Amino acid sequence: MAFDDKIMEKSIDPAVHQMLDRAEQLGLETVWDRYEKMLPECGFGELGVCCRNCNMGPCRISPFEDDGPQRGICGATADIIVARNLIRMIAGGAAAHSDHGRDLAHTLLLTAEGKSGGYEIKDEAKLAALAAEYGIATDQRSKEAIAEDLAKAVYAEFGKQEGPLQFTRRAPQKRVAQWQKMGIDPRGIDREIVEIMHRTHIGVDNDPVNLILQGLKASIADGWGGSMVATEISDVLFGTPMPVKSEANLGVLKEDHVNIIAHGHEPVLSEMILAAAGDPSLVANAKAAGAKGINVVGMCCTGNEIVMRHGIPLAGNFMQQELAIITGAVDAMIVDVQCIMPALGDLCECFHTRFISTSPKAKFPGAVHMQFSEESALAIAKEIVGSAVENYAHRVPEKVFIPADKTACMVGFSTEAILKALGGSLDPLLDAIKSGAVRGIAGVVGCNNPKIKHDEGHVGLVRHLIENNVLVVTTGCNAIACAKVGLMLPEAADDAGDGLKGVCKALGIPPVLHMGSCVDISRILSVCAAVANALGVDICDLPVAGAAPEWMSEKAVSIGAYVVSSGIFTVLGTVPPVLGSPVVTEVLTQAANDVVGAAFAVETDPVKAAGLMIDNIDKKRQALGI
């Protein structure tokens, strides 16, 4: 089927092309339409030189006009305003990921106390390993007693007034020493976020470099704190992922089933939705309504959580959430927190789809709110699924249009799974890197953004990396983009360079390894730390690089900051709002090398971005003498 150039320019995904054409036929608005209506976007906002931190303004600096304002009303320069705005983005992102971790610690505590409504401890080995890290006794103790002590110890990490955070000590000693030298070794997760908000209040910190250092400190508390807590406790409660096969793209929706999309980020909800969807009475109700069964699929990072533990299909990434509704086949869109468009409410009203919000932190216009709580988790989940089953009868068959597009994928490469694939030791990977068969490792992550042709930034960059023998590890929406084009199959190694191809064939793995949701970038940090420790070097010495080709959220700003703070060169595919400050731009792209041993680069062309990463990897190889 041929589509006009306007549609083809929006995405590389044929399922998206079909749904955008259908949306146009139906007169429905999507995120791409709203983006086009916003053009041209505010130039001051793009440069980061607008400030609303007090009510004397709003103020904006005009770097292009000699006679325009060069200071805010309080006297803040562009450098100060940009630095304050940037680290407030880090605070927002760190708060989101860390709250995710806090909620999982809460669920673990309730489970340990026997107060949760259906959760259980599924990975006792990981529980014991984490307890050992925290110095918690395990001998002759029940898993519930150990879990209670662990949950309380993890809880304490959030409110600490003095550090260190336990998981930061997983980093190589040289890395920790550098953090301490620069004063960015975090004390407590919440403390560093709060301090950003204090420092950026009018009349507090007005040194752009000092502001950025606090931003890096809070980001480390996210990556090596809140996000790592979320990953590790999820594994304890729901099981540590191991490789599993599944499918990805809108074609995973089924016309003859009750279709439920789990969308958002926290597996506390989605795990129970899955359990409820398997309830025999609810399945019987679905069949009585004329459906063949209940089909649960995932969207965004919730999708990544449930695909890697259960093989539940992925319906798509961030930019596809509206398109899923436009299929007319979704009986319930169930959401919790993060990356959920408020536009969904109006769109669901054009179809029969029931839009169900569940978190007290996140209510949406047009949504039915069915508040979820861990204490009654399974009972509430059954009520939610029952609502979706009941709604199946209201589906309008002539409005249903599901693209056939879907692709098989292999997902679930946790740190433990990677070690298992390597035979229990990092030695095969180290040998492959030393020999040059694997040139290096790239972590490619992040969101979608309508400023970039959908999935092209992700897929174009990753393809170029594997062609040049760079093993890719991925999370979040990038992972879903790669799954949809077949890069997460062992057969995709045929498209890799000869060295990487040989390694993948020998191990039976894809050249692009799915490591989970966006909080699971902490798994990538753990792998890097383990490799660095094995080689006796710092992370900044390794032939590794990071990229976020289509990033858009505050979480991505925090992620980028903690990846660079960990010593990993990182390329961004969309321009952050910092170019209005020469000082901040120079610190992030150059001076950061002297502070943390890594820096950012910005490159919108995915092939050129991959080239920057490969150049960095080659320099690190040369410095290591390999």
At 337-369, the pLDDT tens digits run: 999 999 999 999 999 999 999 999 999 999 999
Is residue 42 marked as binding? Answer: yes
pLDDT tier, 55 (very low <50, low <70, confident <90, very high otherwise): very high
Domain assignment present for 69:
no
For all residues of the chain together, what is the average pLDDT?
97
- pLDDT cut 90: percent of the chain above it: 98
The pLDDT assigned to 544 comes to 98
Is the pLDDT confidence value at 152 over 90? yes
Last residue of a domain, one of 60, 86, 107: 60
Same domain, 359 and 470: no
- List Cβ neighbours of 139 (8 Å cut-off, separation of 6 or more): none
| Mean pLDDT along residues 448-454 | 97
| Mean pLDDT along residues 20-35 | 96
The pLDDT assigned to 621 comes to 97
Same domain, 478 and 618: yes
Same domain, 340 and 264: yes
Count up the domains in the chain and report the number. Answer: 4
Same domain, 368 and 296: yes
* Residue range of the domain that includes 30: 5-60
**Rounded to the nearest 5 degrees, what angle is found at the Cα of 108, between the Cα atoms of 335 and 171?**
95
pLDDT tier, 64 (very low <50, low <70, confident <90, very high otherwise): confident
Is residue 447 marked as binding? Answer: yes
Domain assignment present for 355:
yes
pLDDT tier, 62 (very low <50, low <70, confident <90, very high otherwise): confident
pLDDT tier, 451 (very low <50, low <70, confident <90, very high otherwise): very high
Q: At what angle do helices 456-467 and 476-484 cross, to 10 degrees?
A: 70
The pLDDT assigned to 66 comes to 75
Is residue 50 marked as binding? Answer: yes
Same domain, 474 and 618: yes
Is residue 348 marked as binding? Answer: no
Neighbouring-strand partners of residue 512: 472
Q: Give the pLDDT confidence of 406-434 residue by residue, as tens digits.
A: 999 999 999 999 999 999 999 999 999 99
Is residue 301 marked as binding? Answer: yes
Is residue 265 marked as binding? Answer: yes
Rounded Cα distance, 441 and 518, in Å = 18
Same domain, 355 and 279: yes
On whether the CB atoms of residues 473 and 441 are closer than 8 A, the answer is yes
Domain assignment present for 324:
yes
Nearest to 225 by CA among 123, 95, 86: 95
Domain assignment present for 70:
no
Is residue 528 marked as binding? Answer: no
Q: Give the pLDDT confidence of 303-338 residue by residue, as tens digits.
A: 999 999 999 999 999 999 999 999 999 999 999 999
pLDDT tier, 389 (very low <50, low <70, confident <90, very high otherwise): very high
The pLDDT assigned to 1 comes to 72
The CA-atom distances, in angstroms, between 392 and each of 293, 389, 404 are 11, 5, 21
Same domain, 274 and 417: no
Q: What is the CATH number of the domain that holds 152?
A: 1.20.1270.30
On whether the CB atoms of residues 586 and 561 are closer than 8 A, the answer is no
The pLDDT assigned to 250 comes to 98
Q: Give the pLDDT confidence of 488-541 residue by residue, as tens digits.
A: 999 999 999 999 999 999 999 999 999 999 999 999 999 999 999 999 999 999
Is residue 504 marked as binding? Answer: no
Domain assignment present for 72:
no
Domain assignment present for 67:
no
Same domain, 92 and 213: yes
pLDDT tier, 404 (very low <50, low <70, confident <90, very high otherwise): very high
The pLDDT assigned to 61 comes to 92
Is the pLDDT confidence value at 63 over 80? no
